[in-house]
Amino acid sequence: MSTKEQDLEAYLSANSKPESQVLYELARYTNLNTFNPRMVSGHIQGKLFEMIVHMVNPKRVLEIGTFTGYSAICIASALSDNAILDTIEVNDELEDTARTFFDKSGLSSKINLHIGSALEIVPKLPFTYQLAYIDGDKREYPNYFNLVLPKVEPGGFIIADNVLWNGKVTDKNCNDLHTKAINEFNQMVTTDTRVDNVLLPIRDGLMLIRKL
């Protein structure tokens, strides 16, 4: 990140309500103890999720890609009474950390953590959702969309993270599997007549999708 981008990020944080103490601790823990701490959503995007959950007021939310649990806690913190988040993480080494911080946040009762691949778990979940957040393996985004859309109720929303993939999506020389899959995902969503969508240049790109 350039100094100008860091200054802007600091300005955004300074002019938004601070993250809770538990989220601050989780971000710090993730930075010190995981190989790819940049995967964490972070303060501003986490706040945005809280706001969206308050706006949509979903009864059930689905998340693909728990990681250490930052976005899950943001989402769960804004859920109304009796509303539930199903969050799926394929890496079982992250389970203890996520559960520890879910407990610390006091939100464990609202969060169902499923360990395993979303590609296997999503088809088996016997629920429908008003909101889904896709943030797993970028190469699997097209598959996630095909699996998640039938589970989302009409009028419900899907949000997908990293759809700009650090700007690689517009670089014709980037032919790696991640970039190709993100481009395929963005195209399939935009041409799908069952949904409305807008791509927002927030952080690494957020695709907002509404099921018609």
Ligand X SMILES: C[S@@+](CC[C@H](N)C(=O)[O-])C[C@H]1O[C@@H](n2cnc3c(N)ncnc32)[C@H](O)[C@@H]1O
E-assigned strand segments in 10-151:
60-64, 84-89, 111-115, 129-134
Are 48 and 16 within 8 A, CB to CB? no
Smallest gap, in angstroms, from Cβ of residue 203 to ligand X?
A: 11
Question: DSSP secondary-structure letter at 90?
Answer: S
Contact flag: residue 44 with ligand X (CB under 6 A): no
Strands 60-64, 84-89: pairing is parallel
Binding segment toward ligand X, per CB under 6 A, in 13-21, 135-143, 152-160, 186-194: 135-143
Nearer to ligand X, 33 or 91 (CB): 91
Contact flag: residue 156 with ligand X (CB under 6 A): no
Distance CA 211, CA 193 (A): 9
In sequence order, the 6+-apart residues with CB closer than 8 A to the CB of 142 are 181, 184, 185, 188
Residues between 74 and 93 with contacts to ligand X, criterion CB under 6 A: 88-91
Nearer to ligand X, 35 or 196 (CB): 35
The count of chain residues that interact with ligand X, using the rule CB under 6 A, is 21
Q: Which residues bind ligand X (CB under 6 A)?
A: 39-41, 64-65, 67-68, 70-71, 88-91, 94, 117-119, 135-137, 140
